[in-house]
Amino acid sequence: MFPFPNRLSIKHKNNKVSIIKDKKIAIVGGGPGGLTLARLLQIHDADVTVYERDANRHARAQGATLDLHDESGLRAIREAGLWDEFIANYRPGADRLRIMDKAANTIFEDDINGLAERQRPEIDRGPLQNILLDSLLPDTVMWDSHFVAMQKQNEGWVLEFKNGISVYADVVIAADGANSKIRPYITTIKPFYAGLTAIEGSVYDSAKNSPKIHTLLNGGKIFAVGDSKSLIVSSKGDGSLVFYPGCKKDENWLRDCGIDFTEKAQALAWFKQEYRGWDDVWQELFENASTCLIPRQIFSMPTDQTWETQPNLTMLGDAAHLMPPYAGEGVNMAMLDAVELSECLLSDEYDSIHSAIVVYEMQMRKRASATTQESLDSTALLHSPDAIAFLSQVIGSKA
């Protein structure tokens, strides 16, 4: 476990917690956004507790690697005082990218070694989670705390959890992801289906079990596109890989298709039919999948959403602005939300928590609107006949 870094060295310039002094803050959800916020508040002596539904930090397998961006995810890491821990755990070279067509021809190979200015360093979700968890004081995270409901009490909230525990908080922050149970207390606006369904799978020990794809990956990522479909493959630091075929489907397709994706034979048969005309090398992924495949419909929040700010309740990350994953912005936006919300709550410019949240939500919605539109546009272009040209243009513009 990492030692709790020198708190005095990164204190707020006025060395106080201002409007949140003596307030109990509950963060519901222990993903990167929630944990980052907890860290940023805690190093300023705020009384913060994270309530996470998982039984413990090892309860859930972590998905694909994350590329953190300098202006958002990496900014959060720096402001949290965790840069050294990040450098010790990120994966050099994992941001290599190979763009391929359906025939398994390499259209573009981005070997970024030596081009540090282009790097968006990658880190596996598990190590990032551990860095953030280990930076918090003991017992900051209350595991096995599945949020059920909450009610107003005096000027705060009483939160109820499935384990039977109830707690009081002066301020509640929803960091509980795409299916947030707290968001409905803030707004009735719901996400819409973005027209795409992806299937998530993984292969353990990919060098042995998927050698051809493993070689093509070379420790990085593959974006294969064609026929208005995508297939994204990503290496992980533990020697496994994760893959995501994505294609346009009606919203009810998953319900009506009759395919049991937990059965490998059915999943492979679907892939052969859906991706007919694609090179046989891609079938290696489905033939050697180590776990059941998981269908994931892609949803997005509207770009014009707004709501009336509440005095002591707000949200961040996917709970606030769910967007498609095809621009790589979700985690970065959640961590930037944490930075901006902590800045507002710790600032001496506001005379109330309500006024601080008003400012945070205004800037968060404006920023998220632009990023969500970018993600929707990227999703559409990646699943269009012009996907190869689009990817080549994006890579070229960053060269």
Start-end of CATH 3.30.9.30 domains in the chain: 192-300
Angle between helices 32-42 and 125-134 (to 10 degrees): 20
Start-end of CATH 3.50.50.60 domains in the chain: 8-92+121-190+301-382
* Closest listed residue to residue 379, CA positions, set 328, 331, 334: 328
* Closest listed residue to residue 33, CA positions, set 270, 320, 266: 320
Is 3.50.50.60 the CATH number for 8-92+121-190+301-382? yes
Angle between helices 387-397 and 353-382 (to 10 degrees): 130
The model carries a pTM of: 0.92
What pLDDT does 396 receive? 63
Has residue 1 got a pLDDT over 60? no
For the segment 58-68, the average pLDDT, to the nearest whole number, is 82
pLDDT band (50, 70, 90) for residue 5: very low
CB atoms within 10 A of CB 217: 20
Give the DSSP letter string of 66-107.
Answer: EEPPTTTHHHHHHHTT-HHHHHHHS-TTTT-EEEEETT--EE
What pLDDT does 393 receive? 75
Over residues 144-183, the pLDDT tens digits come to 999 999 999 999 999 999 999 999 999 999 999 999 999 9
Sign, Cα dihedral of 316, 182, 314, 164: negative
**260 vs 95: which has the higher pLDDT:** 260
Contact residues for 317 (Cβ-Cβ < 8 A; gap 6+): 29, 31, 32, 33, 34, 175, 177, 330, 333, 334, 337
What CATH code would you report for 192-300? 3.30.9.30
Has residue 118 got a pLDDT over 50? no
Tokens representing 122 are 């990658």
In the block, which residue shows the tokens 């498609």? Answer: 324
User: Taking a C-beta distance cutoff of 8 angstroms, is the pair 89, 128 a contact?
Assistant: yes
